[in-house]
Structures are given as structure tokens and as C-alpha cells.
Amino acid sequence: MAPDARHQVTGRSATSTARAVTLGTGTAPVAVPLPEAVGPRDAVTRLRAHGCWYPSASPDGTEAAFICDRGGVPQLWAGPVQSDEVRLLDASPDPVTEVSWSPDGRWIAYTAAPGGSEHSRVLCVRPDGTGRRILAGADPDTSAYLGCWAHDGSAVAVTVAVPAVRTSGDGSPDGTATSLEEPAPRPGDGLSAYLLDPDALASPALLATEADAATLRVCDLSFDGTLALLRRGPRGRREAVVRRTADSATTCTMPVADGDPWIGRFSHDGRTLWLRTDADREFAALYALELDADGAPRAATPAAQRPGSGLELLSMAHDGRTAVLVWNVQGASELELLETTSARSAADTTGPARPVPLPHEVVTRAVPAGAGRLLLALSGSRRRPGVWWAREGVSLLRTPWSSRDEDAVPPDRPPVRPVPLHLTARDGLPLSGWYYRAPGRAPGESAPCVIHLHGGPEEQERPVFNPLYHELLGRGLDVFAPDVRGSSGHGRSFVDADLGTGRFAALDDVADCAAHTVAAGLADPTRLAVMGRSYGGYLTFASLVWHPDLFRTGVAVCGMSDLLTFFAGTEPWIAESAAHKYGHPVHDRELLRSLSPMTRIDALRVPLLAVHGEHDTNVPPGESEQFVRAARERGVPAELLTLRDEGHDFLRADNRRLFRRTAADWMQRHLG
């Protein structure tokens, strides 16, 4: 690409973009060049089974950068969408979590988590693998998160979290951790969003600063660089914020839904903001927010909505005139394209929606890939998930380098497709989930069954290919994966139904789901187990002590066992966000104590396996350690599996395999 091609959209260089905003006066990120990666540009040992996800397309759509774990750890790869000649761009063992190709094609920005921890850094590299450097997060005491690119590719937005300094009782700085016996509220991180020049020619430009913030992400910049769209706020109270870059003045705020952080996009002229929001609604919809010349709102009009279904993913073509909409329809995805116009040009601001048939049940990412092209990350209950691409008017085609899943399910055994299961909680609230029947089970035969609980709590159980489930199914165990209250995908009221004392009802939901599998003739009441990760791990701990006679065993993964010690030990931004969901560690102290499994540990009667990543700072490993220790002190068999070089998410292929096989061994041994 010609040196000046990057300026054709707006006629602005990286230097002029930086001058258009207020320069940061604090500690701004400084680019840190890295040595060229040595060794082969390929994995030393390719795994027969691997995943490919989070694609980002080159400007013309002929190539994609993506995350792939064929080398055993999620790393940054790139290659043509119609060829399997892929190349490894960063041979570092640090797991990669997000990828974004610059609009001018010159750089690929990505987020990596050193050691698999929750602390992350933002890097960039040229598409040929040269020029690798850290843009932000080089200081181990900070974390950095990737935002959007300027539309001319001159700068990339990055959010930097600087930990707050704790103080001792006399007000002096104190580097020690808060006592677990008397946990106190933790001061939040300071979050600052910058525009950074990947060439390191222009000074960092400060876009926004938030003290004690839960989240802050730059989702889009107007094409002329005068407006920024930010997403901020804790879970359940997210906001879209429009801010002028010249003076950092906020011109507009609007509530938006949880879930995918990429909430909206400016039109080409900057006078319409296309926004995914559930403001005053049960389900998220696409809104056209009309803005004046200064970015202030004039009118908000629903542009696309569905009764009983929420807009889950929103993307816009590079020209800003075609919206890519992914709807969540009872856990499955429906994809459609929508032509948009300026909200001021006509009463009807959109053309007819054009549905795109899908080869899998769930879309996890949808991005434009040049004129008339689209890249999709898909998953589902059948084989061959991964990255697919489409040219307008042509069926979706699977990329040659996409995911392979042979080791999760043997070639002679087709993957189990789940069936929806519906029930009613004891207080009348409708619940649902997905039931997986082990192969070879005779009709009407009751089976040992694992109730698996997702995290969040705002996540949703989806009909996707889950290697853990298939590991359990291969041992002759059924799996029921329900959405208890607090889950997403069922409307805002359902998400909020577990707030405060409503969490006691969520604990009852677990028991009601287990009871329903028995009443339906599916599960053996003497061979039930409970398992879950993150919030699902908390529910596992809690279910074993709230319903001690219901389950024969449990596997709790990265779960909270005491909500007060969790608040004392987690990341400040997580504590800030979690207070709305669980309760405040000071004002709601007694509620948190009464909801904590540790307060009822004497009721534990069955063996327990706990699993945790050693670098987890989301839910610290001490949460599993204290529960296992207390169980052993009471004579209850309990084991702890600590996974090395992992954080809250298990990202390394060997660790994921060890985890699921250890969990399946445990379940098989205790359920028979």
C-alpha cells in the first residue's frame, strides 16, 4: 500500500489525529519494541485438534488475522481465507485474546495475557510478522485493553488500567493485601483511554479518564475523528457515551445491554449513531440515534427489533452503510444484513433485512471483510466449527485453516445434539436448558446426570460444541445445562431476577432443574452431580451445602466460596462491577455472608473436586483452597487441581485436556 493511502478516508495523519484531542498529562503508554520472533513461522508441533476464532479481516477481505491454538496455546495467526498457507505472527507463549486488523492494512493490533493471567497488554505487528511491539501494558502493574482503530488507520484506541494505591488505617500507602478476616471495600482502578500511533511518531492522545471504573472501552470513532463512542459502567448498568475528542466533553449517554462490548458505530457523516441497546426494553434492539453537529442527541428511533429476541452482535461494513445483525433466538443465532441511511434523510431509515443462512447454530463474531464480504466465527453442536467467509450472494464457505475437533469426539461417534428442556421453578418462573443424552442410552432408561452451570451469571447456555460435555457423554453420563435466573438471552427481567435476595431463588433453581430431570424420567435420582465454572463454580459450592441430599458429588471450577473474601481479593474493576450483581461488601455485608457457601460448610456431605488456575485474579485461587481445606477438616473427601500458567479461563490445550479428563474421571468414579 502506498505511504499516503492511509490518509485517503479523512485526509488526517497520525500526528493531526493526536492534535485533535487533549494530550494526556498522566503516565501515557510508551511503545516498547520487541525483538523479531525467532524460529519457524509455524507451530513446532501441530495439534490434530485445534480451534480458530476471533477473526479480523484485511481491508480487501482476502486475508484474515485470527486466534488459533494449533500450537497448544492461543496465538496470533494470519492467512488467506481461501488457502491453508497460514503464518504464525507471534511465537510468544502468552495467550492472545483479541485481534484487530487496521483499516489501512499496515498493522494488526492484539491483546495478550502474559502467563495466562487476568493482566493483559496490547501489542501490534505488521502482517508479515515484523515490527512487533508492545503499545500498552508493558508495566506489570498495569493492564491494557484493545479498543477500535481510527478509520484511517492512523491510531488505535487502548484503555489502560492503573491499580489504585491502598492505604493503611493512618492514611499512609500500604502495599499489603486486605485481611481476609475483616475484608474491606477495595479502591477501584483508574481507567484511561488513549489513541496511540502504532508507528510511535505521534504522542498518545487522551480520550477519557474514569476513576473507580468497572469498564471503559472505545468502541468507535467518527470518520472525521471528532467524536468517540465509549462503553462504560458495571454489569447491568452499562452505558454508551458519546464524547467530543477536542475537549473531552460528554454530549450523550444512553443505557446499553450487557454482552458483546462492541455496542455501536457512527454513520459515515457522524450524524447518526447505530446502537445496540435495551434501554427501557426487555430485549436489545438496533436504534438510530440522530446527533447534531456537536454530537448532542436529537432523536432515537428503533431501526430493527424483534419480539422475544435480542440483538446480540452488531457490526457495520467499512462504508458504514450496511449493518450486520445477529439475533439471539432462544439460544440460537439468526443473521441478517440491513442497509442503512442517515436518520435525517428519510422517515424509513433502513431497507429490508436480508437473512443469511447459517451452517451452525451460534455466531460468536461477525465482521466485515471488504466490499460485499463477511467473516463469521461459528459454533454449534455438529462438527466443523470455526471461521467461515461469504461473498455477497454466495453461500458461506469454510476457511481451509479453520477448527478441527477430532479428539473431542472419536470419528466413529457423531457429536450429541442437545434437545431443549423447559420447566417451571417453584415460584412459577419459567426456566429452560439443553439436555445431552449419552450415546447408546435406551429410551426410558434413567441415567447418571451432571447438572452443568454456566458462568456470568449473565452468560447463557448455547447449543455449541463443548468438548467437556462430550468427554462426560463418552463416559456414559448425561448432561443437563440449564439457564437459572440471572442468565442472559431471556430478557432483562430474567437477568435481574437474581439481584440481592433473589440469589436464594437462583440456588433453588438448581435444585428444581435437577428434580425436573428426574421427574421427566431422564436422570437417576441416586446419581446426580453438579458442576460449573466461575459463577457456576459458586453455584456448585452453594448447591452442595444448600441441597446436601440431592447430589452425590460436585466439581467446582474457579468458583467463589465466600463472597466477602472474593471482594477482598479480586481485581478492583471486577469488584466495582460485581457489587451491583451480588451486593456491596460493606452495605450488604450480612447478605453476602448469608449467601456464601463457606458459612454452611458444616452441611457438606459428599466428595468434591475443585479446579483453579494458579494466576486467576478474577476469582483468586484462595476461594477454592479454603473450601477444600474446610471440607477436609470435617472429614469430607475433597481434592484441588491447580492448573499451571492459567488464569480464570483455561487457554492452553494441554491444561484444557487435563481438566476435562480429570473432571470426567471424578464424575465417573463417584456416579458409577
pLDDT(12) > 90? no
- pLDDT single digits (tens) 219-268: 999 999 999 999 998 888 899 999 999 998 999 999 998 899 999 999 98
Distance CA 464, CA 473 (A): 15
Distance CA 125, CA 545 (A): 50
Q: How many CB atoms lie within 10 A of CB 622?
A: 18
Question: What pLDDT is attached to residue 410?
Answer: 65
Q: How many CB atoms lie within 10 A of CB 38?
A: 6
pLDDT(344) > 60? no
Label residue 558 by pLDDT band (50, 70, 90). Answer: very high
Instruction: Name which of 100, 103, 129, 126 is nearest 112 in CA terms.
Output: 100
- pLDDT single digits (tens) 266-297: 998 999 999 999 999 999 999 999 999 899 99
Question: What pLDDT is attached to residue 213?
Answer: 74
Task: Check: CB of residue 570 under 8 Å from CB of residue 634.
Answer: no
29 cis-preceded (ω within 30 degrees of 0): no
Question: What pLDDT is attached to residue 24?
Answer: 37
Question: What pLDDT is attached to residue 392?
Answer: 64
Strand (E) or helix (H) holding 251: strand 250-255
- pLDDT single digits (tens) 326-338: 999 999 999 998 9
Distance CA 330, CA 462 (A): 9
pLDDT(438) > 90? yes
Q: What is the mean pLDDT of the chain?
A: 86
Strand (E) or helix (H) holding 671: helix 653-671
281: cell is: 426494553
Please give the average per-residue pLDDT across 132-161, as a whole number.
93
Distance CA 276, CA 257 (A): 7
Please give the average per-residue pLDDT across 628-634, as a whole number.
98
CA torsion angle 243 249 250 251 (round to 10)? -90
Task: Check: CB of residue 386 under 8 Å from CB of residue 398.
Answer: yes
Label residue 17 by pLDDT band (50, 70, 90). Answer: very low
- Enter the DSSP assignment of 13: -
Say which range, 45-54, 102-111, 295-304, 620-629, has the weakest mean pLDDT: 45-54
Say which range, 8-17, 283-292, 334-343, 560-569, has the weakest mean pLDDT: 8-17
Distance CA 551, CA 541 (A): 11
Residue 373 CB contacts under 8 Å (≥ 6 apart), including other chains: 57, 61, 389, 390, 391, 392
Task: Check: CB of residue 108 under 8 Å from CB of residue 100.
Answer: yes
Determine the longest span between alpha carbons in the chain, in angstroms.
Answer: 73
- pLDDT single digits (tens) 571-615: 887 888 888 899 999 999 999 999 999 999 999 999 999 999 999
At residue 579, φ and ψ (nearest 5 deg) are -60, -35
Distance CA 429, CA 407 (A): 39
- For residue 598, the number of C-alpha atoms closer than 13 Å in the C-beta half-sphere is 21
Choose the most confident range, by mean pLDDT, from 178-182, 247-251, 448-452: 448-452
- pLDDT single digits (tens) 152-170: 999 999 999 876 544 334 4
Cβ burial 468-500 (10 Å sphere, 16+ → b, else e): bbbbbbbbbbbbbbbbbbbbbbbbbebbbbbbe
Instruction: Name which of 467, 507, 266, 509 is nearest 381 in CA terms.
Output: 467
